[in-house]
Chains A and B, each alone.
Chain A
Amino acid sequence: MDNGRPANGVAPKVASALKTFLYRIADDELIIAHRNSEWTGLGPILEEDIAFSSIAQDKLGHSLAIYSILHEVFGEEDPDTIAFTRSEKDFTCCHLVELPIGDYAFSLVRHLLFDLAEQLRFEMLENSLFEPLAKVARKVKGEIKYHLFHAVTWVTQLGAKGNEESKARTQTALNEAFPLALGIFEPGDHDDILKGEGIFEGEETLKERWLTALTSIVEEADLTLPDVQSVEPAYGGRKGYHTEHLQPLLDEMAEVFRIDPGAEW
């Protein structure tokens, strides 16, 4: 090529920023998928067990879609290898998704905080100039709409429509999960490059939108959002520094794969 660009048409500097960005998104999706799937068979009631498990499977699909872009456009390993063979320090997921499932209130509140950010992020990406990602964003829109419908309905049920205990437990979960959720938006060097290329408007913009939307959802649920100025965001995950919960999760997730990595499924 005479413009010096590689076969995928993306300049090296942009490619590197995009890869960082894509790994963050896909790792978040994979780990939250695994965590949420831990409720399968243990959910509070049968109907909810099915719904939450189904949502977890959707998240797994989202991670597959993004890992596939990394594989097909950027020549990274195939999705299974990426998901099952990397060690903790190679993952760039945020701490929010790593935490154990806790009680159901924690899992539901995490689901709300994560999925709201996910929805707004993909909404921003629908018109991204990086078409493979824009395509995924448009494709998963309906699924995420349902995920958020599920999350908001439950949190409102436990808050505004619940009893004293359900409300207190949901509030406790919110207090615990909120600083972790702020880690979703951990800044990085890739941010400005992607912004300049019209690929993504940036984590800061996303965070502002998320806070606005979250404030009204939390109010509607008769809960109190912790003050964003007074909490310490859980950063580090995006740079490969994780909580002690990630490596055991990875071991468990990859246990069967590692018995025979070449097996045909």
Chain B
Amino acid sequence: MIIKSLDPRVTRLEIPAEDQSFEPLAPMDQHETYEVFHQEKRGGQPVHVGSLHAPNTELALVMAKEQYGRRSRTVAIWVVPTSEIMTISVEDADIFETTPEKDYREAKGYRVGTKLKAWKKQQEGATNG
């Protein structure tokens, strides 16, 4: 007995109905992952759009084109092996924290508006006079 499916392609594979000894793949028994960046316009930012599995960089590019470039306007696709990306680990995410009492480091810490107005007024006075 073979497996009979509504899908004739599956029936044609002639898979024995009694043999159900499919072994799941071992964890990580798959290709390397690649990160994909998509550019919509010339000169625009390449934006990270997702990742994919591929046996090597060339095939990653081949597949990224269809995976991420077939639906929307695309002028360029970049692929990078995930393993080549340096990042700060989640445990060390506190590295991004900063104490708030440092107005002098922020643009908002300086009241430029009043100074600018005063300067403009002064300029106007100079041309009128």
Interface residues of A (CB under 8 A from B): 38, 42, 45-48, 50-51, 54-55, 100, 146, 149-150, 153-154, 157, 161, 252
Known contacts A51-B62, A51-B67, A149-B62; A45/B9 CB under 8 A: no
A47 x B8 contact (CB < 8 A): no
Binds A, one of B47-55, B80-88, B96-104, B107-115: B47-55
Encoded as 1 (CB less than 8 Å from any A CB) or 0, chain B from 44 to 85 comes to 000000001111101100110111001000000000000000
For residue B98, give the distance in angstroms from its CB to the closest CB of chain A: 40
A48 x B63 contact (CB < 8 A): yes
Q: Which of A38, A42, A54, A154 contacts B66 (CB 8 A)?
A: A54
A46 x B8 contact (CB < 8 A): no
- Cβ contacts under 8 Å, B55 to chain A: 157
Q: Which of B8, B12, B52, B59 contacts A157 (CB 8 A)?
A: B59
For residue A60, give the distance in angstroms from its CB to the closest CB of chain B: 15
A42 to B8, CA, bound (A): 12
- Cβ contacts under 8 Å, A42 to chain B: 9-10
A224 to B67, CA, bound (A): 32
Per DSSP, chain A at the interface is: helix
- Cβ contacts under 8 Å, B53 to chain A: 45-47
Known contacts A47-B52, A157-B55; A146/B65 CB under 8 A: yes
Q: Is B31 an interface residue (CB 8 A)?
A: yes
Closest to B13 in A: A42
Inter-chain pairs besides A54-B70, A157-B58, 5 sampled, C-beta below 8 Å: A47-B53, A50-B66, A100-B12, A153-B62, A252-B8
Closest to B8 in A: A252
A50 x B58 contact (CB < 8 A): no
| A-B contacts at CB below 8 angstroms, number | 40
A173 to B106, CA, bound (A): 65
A47 x B56 contact (CB < 8 A): no
Encoded as 1 (CB less than 8 Å from any A CB) or 0, chain B from 1 to 16 comes to 0000000111010000
A132 to B30, CA, bound (A): 46
A157 to B58, CA, bound (A): 9
B70 x A150 contact (CB < 8 A): no
- Cβ contacts under 8 Å, A51 to chain B: 62-63, 65-67
B67 x A50 contact (CB < 8 A): yes
Closest to B54 in A: A47
Closest to A47 in B: B63
A153 x B59 contact (CB < 8 A): yes
A161 to B8, CA, bound (A): 34
A253 to B53, CA, bound (A): 32
A146 to B70, CA, bound (A): 11
